[in-house]
Structure 1
């Protein structure tokens, strides 16, 4: 649901700069639920006990129980039977082989139901949007643009996932959102091919490249599958050649790395707003945070969408790269290298001087820039901006990928000031040498208005990416980490308001 804000739609920052706050806000909807796998307590022994209790049900009880589940929940999910079957398969290994062959179809689905739970993906918050042109502009009126917006959704237990909205920007810069579906669905998870050399390099960064890992990798082909890795781990586990503790730690790290690189496939006939990317790997178990999407132009002119996001396991973070051409099929890979630290990674929309370029914040305080021949490996960074103004003295960072303009690379930034207030600012980088800051706003472009200060995290305005539409910058932003809104500003006015370096 998209509602209007009953406030003045513009805020004057200076005599030269006028920011137009649009009337739309994007509402979170607690009725949008996924049916996720529930491993009670994470304990295999408990899972076996639950399954044994289900086995004790008389067959005459099984069908009515299953029918009741399907009747009560089928209208809340697009493919409930398939979901229950998937969840049954995840616990099938806890059932004795002789019993598996005797199970009826109803028993299988009922077991799946007992290992399922509904999860309201955006019940707590919906925030930190980024926006890119839609890959399909078919049928769009001349001068208008179809867009895709990614958002961070937070539900029970503060687990973050990635959701999407779509709509049209008119020639005049007005936004119309497509109504979101009442359904949401998670994708099929596919295991990709792994490259032995890249796998070795990442293990070395993780401090796991020991004799155990080297032994296993020597047994694997140059390109191997998740099943290949599983088989080699099992072979070494059955006939140990190294101390047990050392082997077990290495097995766990190799499996976690493999699980962090995967592919996702959504049904093409499902609406974009029905697609939710929910944590898959252990590295993401605490959430998928703050995706910064960019439409990237390859050397051959082909367009692809990259997004950087933070995988969080409840204790540590791991920067990830997500790639898609159509927002149906996604590839997820870990980012690697000595410079892959902290959050706030934002890729430039094209190469510069034959190198990939990325903004970052390795030290948690300053804006950095990195260059690399490979999009997956980043070894060095340098500081390009330090906090200077009162509203950013605690720390600064980027607010999404740079936007190419005739004036330079336009970068939205965020700054943290007194009482942990977050404001949005802007800088301008040289087109040919983006290590040079050639302009910056001395005052915030956006700061929280009074009615925007109340929310999940008070006194915050924040965005993960804006979009150029003709002469205007369209800025989706979140208000106190609870609800997104839209603002826009004329690019020339923004650049003219900057202090030149």
Structure 2
């Protein structure tokens, strides 16, 4: 039987985790009439100093103790509005500017319903790490009001002794935001920025475009090495607008600015695409599930356009007969490409398995686990979606694989397994 170490730490949904989000009205002008943004700003500018002070004091009484640097957040939001409307801030009092900023923010409980489906990559900062330790960065799918999914982050450290310590989560979270037209929602590629004073563990990326309006789902992060020796963190995720999905790509080199890029091509119509961490034989490669049932190897000359691929894996064993998918990007090991998979069996019970692909030709399957390496234990079966274990990305650390995974779409658990044990199970 496969020896796997389940770490005792768990992460759960938490309705007390609230964030101040920018409130984008996204309302078109009606002919020559002022926009809603202009009208709101005009209403505040027309207030007397006493009225302004009274309204601001009410807002601060309600929210200042619940959020980090609330006044500064309001001023930052005002600066964005000023830039859009071309206001002369030198003629506007600090109190009016803060109140204007408050009207263009709102509070949101981003993980009230669920926290699930993590992926893990090496952190961009490995300074001060002792031998045997690795600083990591995780993305998580947080589900809040309206069942809208966003991307949250957690930082931590793992060791070669199956230890895991997460960095303290700051008491206040902030939302990454785009800069641009306040009266029209952006479309296509958009860049969002982490607040200059926010830690990454306190940053949340929310839907920005209409295509993303109902959620950013199941990001699969990968530390990607380019041919020129530079590195970039890439994340494939599903954008959902309530009726349609499309695959998109997050790109960042510093985790300060995040490009959210829609992908094109026939393969991008599906969810769950896992990107190889480097080119193979001169091409970018993905693992995807184009037909909702089987896994395909997809190749491309660009990172953002993906057409049809070749069939790689079909469901074979009872625990995966309904459908299979990837559990994140392939992991490069000495013996080839290690791909974690999820399978769906009877009663739609999810389980996680593993596959080994040839390093030079990933279309060749070298080995495959006959039994799952992870399945929901009896005490873990209940939740938002019962009988589910699901990961969006594991990572290699020395001779073992660290696997963060979602349980019942309600919590996040962590496991370690040696590469030797995984290969022996194939």
What TM-score results when the alignment is normalised by the length of structure 1? 0.76
What is the 5 A alignment of 1:418-497? Answer: 418-497=346-425
Q: Secondary structure at the match of 2:266?
A: coil
Q: Secondary structure at the match of 1:276?
A: strand
- Does the C-alpha gap of structure 1 residues 347 and 66 become closer, same or farther in structure 2, counting only changes over 3 Å? same
The alignment status of 1:395 with 2:323, answered yes or no, reads yes
Partner of 1:182: 171
Query: Cα distance, 1:337 vs. partner?
Result: 1.6
Partner of 1:73: 63
Contact 1:130/1:465, CA 8 A, preserved across alignment = yes
Partner of 1:28: 13
Partner of 1:10: none
Q: Secondary structure at the match of 1:371?
A: strand
What is the 5 A alignment of 1:331-342? Answer: 331-342=259-270
Partner of 2:225: 297
The alignment status of 1:349 with 2:277, answered yes or no, reads yes
Query: Cα distance, 1:316 vs. partner?
Result: 0.9
Contact 2:174/2:195, CA 8 A, preserved across alignment = no
Query: Cα distance, 1:117 vs. partner?
Result: 2.2
Q: Which whole-Å CA distance do the structure 1 matches of 2:136 and 2:234 have between them?
A: 15
Alignment coverage as a number of residue pairs: 420
Q: Which whole-Å CA distance do the structure 1 matches of 2:369 and 2:207 have between them?
A: 37
Q: Which whole-Å CA distance do the structure 2 matches of 1:299 and 1:88 have between them?
A: 42
What is the 5 A alignment of 1:54-453? Answer: 59-85=49-75, 106-190=95-179, 259-267=187-195, 269-453=197-381
Query: Cα distance, 1:32 vs. partner?
Result: 2.3
- Does the C-alpha gap of structure 1 residues 290 and 111 become closer, same or farther in structure 2, counting only changes over 3 Å? same
What TM-score results when the alignment is normalised by the length of structure 2? 0.89
- Does the C-alpha gap of structure 1 residues 445 and 275 become closer, same or farther in structure 2, counting only changes over 3 Å? same
- Does the C-alpha gap of structure 1 residues 324 and 39 become closer, same or farther in structure 2, counting only changes over 3 Å? closer
Query: Cα distance, 1:369 vs. partner?
Result: 0.8
C-alpha offsets along residues 372-408 of structure 1, whole Å, 9 cap, x if unaligned? 1111122231110111122111111000000111222
- Does the C-alpha gap of structure 1 residues 478 and 275 become closer, same or farther in structure 2, counting only changes over 3 Å? same
Unpaired segments ≥5 residues, structure 2:
none
Q: Which whole-Å CA distance do the structure 1 matches of 2:81 and 2:393 have between them?
A: 40
Query: Cα distance, 1:113 vs. partner?
Result: 3.0
Contact 2:263/2:305, CA 8 A, preserved across alignment = yes
Query: Cα distance, 1:38 vs. partner?
Result: 4.2
Q: Secondary structure at the match of 2:374?
A: coil
Q: Which whole-Å CA distance do the structure 1 matches of 2:394 and 2:313 have between them?
A: 20
Q: Secondary structure at the match of 1:308?
A: strand
Q: Which whole-Å CA distance do the structure 2 matches of 1:103 and 1:353 have between them?
A: 60
Whichever structure has more helix as a proportion of its residues is: 1
Q: Secondary structure at the match of 1:300?
A: coil
Contact 1:130/1:293, CA 8 A, preserved across alignment = yes
Deviates more, 1:76-85 or 1:323-332: 76-85
Query: Cα distance, 1:26 vs. partner?
Result: 1.7
- Does the C-alpha gap of structure 1 residues 423 and 430 become closer, same or farther in structure 2, counting only changes over 3 Å? same
Unpaired segments ≥5 residues, structure 1:
1-13, 192-225, 231-254
Query: Cα distance, 1:303 vs. partner?
Result: 2.0
Q: Secondary structure at the match of 2:169?
A: coil
- Does the C-alpha gap of structure 1 residues 59 and 400 become closer, same or farther in structure 2, counting only changes over 3 Å? same
Q: Secondary structure at the match of 1:391?
A: helix
Contact 2:22/2:177, CA 8 A, preserved across alignment = no
Contact 1:44/1:94, CA 8 A, preserved across alignment = no
C-alpha offsets along residues 9-65 of structure 1, whole Å, 9 cap, x if unaligned? xxxxx3xx1121111112333322122244689698995887787688665332112
Query: Cα distance, 1:72 vs. partner?
Result: 3.2
